[in-house]
Structure 1
Amino acid sequence: MYLTILHAAQPVDGGVARVVVDLVRGQRAAGHRVLLACPPGGLLAAEAAAAGAELLDWPAGRAPGPATAGEVRRLRRIVRTAEPDVLHLHSAKAGLAGRLAVRGSVPTVFQPHAWSFAAVEGAVAWATLRWERYAARWAHALVCVSEQERADGAAAGIAAAWRVVPNGVDLEHHVPAGAADRRAARAGLGLAGAGLDPEAPLAVCLGRLCRQKGQDVLLDAWPRVAEAVPGAGLALVGGGPDEAVLAERVRALPGPRRVLMAGGVGDPRPWLAAADLVVLPSRWEGMALAPLEAMAAARPVLLTDVPGARECLPPGGAVPPVPPGDVAALAERLVEELADPDACARRGGLARAHVADRHDVRRTVEQVEAVYRGVLPARPSGRPDSRVPQGF
């Protein structure tokens, strides 16, 4: 039985966008009708449309505020018109608006992609947690991307119909990059012209430039690395709200900085191919997608010990994670890894095999569809009637 699936997403960039696009592509290949409600701009709309989604304009900001009531009303109208079999809400803002819009009257799947209350403090964190506890009743399934994300939600008092579906990557799109690919990528990216030695060890940090991803911690650690590993370079790949602040911190680094701010890119594969090591010093995650993409390219990853980190790493031969926010531990581990590029290459081979075995996106798409089937009302035949009641 083919389904009509409506995804609603905000944000429209970063790992969330890539997860949604991969789901759209896999669901369209399976014959389903797939619609996407999202704000214009960013990478999501264009890439999802190219993957076969029908786009529905849903202007919505990233944070709640005075405009939220109007965003809820617009999303309610979209759902009524689309008449989906399943509504799949991605990240905190779509989860807020979507659950308020339909309040369980349509089979609803909520996927937080990391808990919103982990991103804030004080009264805002308290209010956010209270909301998640209350709104869980309006999700027929709550999909976490790691067991730790699920455990954190349960420990926080959220009572939900939990499902764990680890993130996956397209193994035909992200292919192993060997030594020749590394040399070609470094030449193509113009590392020498950007002040980096194309023959020296290179760490790449791929992610949105924001507090969550911890690039400020990485920059605090970098002077110790630069001193201990002669010629080592660092590339920060991504855009985001902290770009100007981080650029100023780069300019303030002592000595030969050898740090490049590469900006946002549509295709991270050349940077993954160029790297000896991919580092993601996040403060919180569910299960980040960038490490999986890096490992699919046969690159080892250095992660902080946040939800999803240990679960996504190969059980043997991985770089041990470091505590989030620990500058000294991050610097020490970076020095150990960048000082031995041959060991990095060996770890990368193990990482690729692990991702191929455990994180193929085709498995992710199949598991998500199984979640959908589990929330659909049982009917003897015909298409499930999941329309929003006219009186709602």
Structure 2
Amino acid sequence: MDRALRNLQEIEVIVANLKRRHTGVTSTIMALLPEQTKRLQIAALGPKLPAQWPRITWSDLLRHGFRPPRGKRLRIWHARRNLEALTGIILRSLLGMPLKLVFTSAAQRHHSRWTQWLLRQMDAVVATSPETANYLPVPAKIIFHGVDTARFSPAEDREREWRASGLPGRFGIAVFGRVRHQKGTDLFIQAMCRLLPQSPDFTAVIIGAMTADKYRFASQLKSIIAAAGLSDRIRFLGERPAAEIPLWFRRVSIVVAPQRWEGFGLVPLEAMASGGAVVATRVGAAHHVIADEHTGYLVSPGDLEALVHRLGILMRDPQLTLAMGQCGRAHVVNHFSIEREAGELERVYKSCWEGSDPSPHR
């Protein structure tokens, strides 16, 4: 018997995750579900869900979804992608399921007419930052993402954790995310090619998927590394299992988030929660998350010189790196916990059930 399967009659909130590939949305749901299950009868729906997620099946939904959950008139359908919003509309408006539709948007860009239409069909919209809310055609409740500060926590001995990786040097510096121009992987490589010859105790790692359409980009980066004679000290580790990611955050001393653009950006939060020093570009919600020169460093997107300068300061000063990581950890615990995010989402759901307006923005 699959213990993760839930009885739909008990489920108050369905979290749609209809994309097969692991994305930032998947990470968001993965962080939230354990906390939300303490507060709500909640389950995910979609393909290739992690085994530990509480979930329902399509067959169960189509057989029993026309009855509301016990004690409620309506069930919440929480979407984070256009496909999931459209699916919710079909289930509610065409099939007649008793659903309230909630959508979370992290995108900081002008939306297509199609997306705007989908958003107008929602009963509540959540934006992950004020900047995101300003691009939406409807009022939104602003709820910053949080991080599980138990799952992402500092190592007792970071140098020992790094030695356990089997990689050279005393300290690690990393970039997390898919290998692509948007993520700034090339900026990280260029910065490392300039800094590592002066910092023999460091090894750099790139942790993230390398998709087929980016092989040429990745090959160019590997050629740059080889030409600099740093192939042993700049390592592509590929996509790691989700359960392994917190370990790598505990191992590395510095995390770089050099994105050229981003929706929200969870990496700085996860790194800070893990006690790592962070250098990030001012994209997504980074300037809301990081107090510049206190809990991390902020640089302009695409500014290689500023990136090299800030990273050089940290790589030359292990005590500053440690202190900045400690400040970052305290900041996340106090202001960006997953418990806070789950609590604010619960209030949005309750507003939907009660029929009040959960989206006061604008």
- State the TM bucket, normalised to the shorter chain: 0.7 to 0.9
Aligned counterpart for 1:348 among listed residues 304, 322, 325:
325
CA shift at 1:20, angstroms?
0.9
- SS of equivalent to 1:148: helix
Aligned counterpart for 2:204 among listed residues 217, 234, 241:
234
Aligned counterpart for 1:255 among listed residues 203, 206, 228:
228
2:271 counterpart letter in structure 1: A
Change (3 A) 1:164 1:217: same
Change (3 A) 1:315 1:303: closer
Give the corresponding residue for 1:204. 174
Change (3 A) 1:36 1:81: farther
Give the corresponding residue for 1:213. 183
Q: Spell out, residue by residue over 1:97-121, the C-alpha distance to the aligned partner (whole angstroms, 9 max, x if none).
A: 4446545973111112334xx4xxx
Measure, in 1, the Cα distance between the counterparts of 2:217 and 2:238: 11
Change (3 A) 1:283 1:79: farther
Give the corresponding residue for 1:27. 36
Does the CA-based 8 Å contact 2:281-2:301 persist in structure 1? yes
CA shift at 1:163, angstroms?
0.8
2:55 counterpart letter in structure 1: A
- SS of equivalent to 1:318: coil
Give the corresponding residue for 1:86. 76
2:337 counterpart letter in structure 1: D
Does the CA-based 8 Å contact 1:140-1:161 persist in structure 2? no
Does the CA-based 8 Å contact 2:124-2:348 persist in structure 1? yes
Aligned counterpart for 1:186 among listed residues 155, 162, 182:
162
Give the corresponding residue for 1:17. 26
2:113 counterpart letter in structure 1: R
Measure, in 1, the Cα distance between the counterparts of 2:283 and 2:47: 29
Give the corresponding residue for 1:320. 297
Does the CA-based 8 Å contact 1:229-1:339 persist in structure 2? yes
2:16 counterpart letter in structure 1: A
Aligned pair 1:307/2:315, yes or no?
A: no
CA shift at 1:24, angstroms?
2.1
Give the corresponding residue for 1:8. 16
1:133 counterpart letter in structure 2: Q
Q: Spell out, residue by residue over 1:312-354, the C-alpha distance to the aligned partner (whole angstroms, 9 max, x if none).
A: 1146613331122223322222222222222111000000100
Measure, in 2, the Cα distance between the counterparts of 1:94 and 1:323: 34
Measure, in 2, the Cα distance between the counterparts of 1:246 and 1:187: 30
Moved more, 134-143 or 3-12: 3-12
Measure, in 1, the Cα distance between the counterparts of 2:39 and 2:288: 28
Aligned pair 1:148/2:124, yes or no?
A: no
Alignment of 1:334-373 (within 5 A): 334-373=311-350
Does the CA-based 8 Å contact 1:189-1:270 persist in structure 2? no
1:313 counterpart letter in structure 2: I
Does the CA-based 8 Å contact 1:168-1:359 persist in structure 2? yes
Does the CA-based 8 Å contact 2:149-2:273 persist in structure 1? yes
CA shift at 1:288, angstroms?
1.6
Aligned pair 1:375/2:349, yes or no?
A: no
CA shift at 1:148, angstroms?
2.3
Does the CA-based 8 Å contact 1:92-1:112 persist in structure 2? no
- SS of equivalent to 1:136: helix
Give the corresponding residue for 1:64. none
Give the corresponding residue for 2:103. 110
- SS of equivalent to 2:28: helix
CA shift at 1:215, angstroms?
1.3
1:224 counterpart letter in structure 2: R
Give the corresponding residue for 1:298. 275
CA shift at 1:234, angstroms?
1.2
Aligned pair 1:173/2:131, yes or no?
A: no
CA shift at 1:185, angstroms?
1.7
Give the corresponding residue for 2:137. 159
**Could you list the runs of 5+ residues in structure 2 that have no partner in the other structure?**
1-9, 69-73, 357-362
CA shift at 1:239, angstroms?
1.3
Change (3 A) 1:36 1:52: closer
**Sequence identity (%):** 24
- SS of equivalent to 1:301: strand
**Could you list the runs of 5+ residues in structure 1 that have no partner in the other structure?**
58-74, 119-124, 380-392
Measure, in 1, the Cα distance between the counterparts of 2:18 and 2:147: 20
- SS of equivalent to 1:298: coil
Does the CA-based 8 Å contact 1:95-1:111 persist in structure 2? no
Change (3 A) 1:348 1:39: same
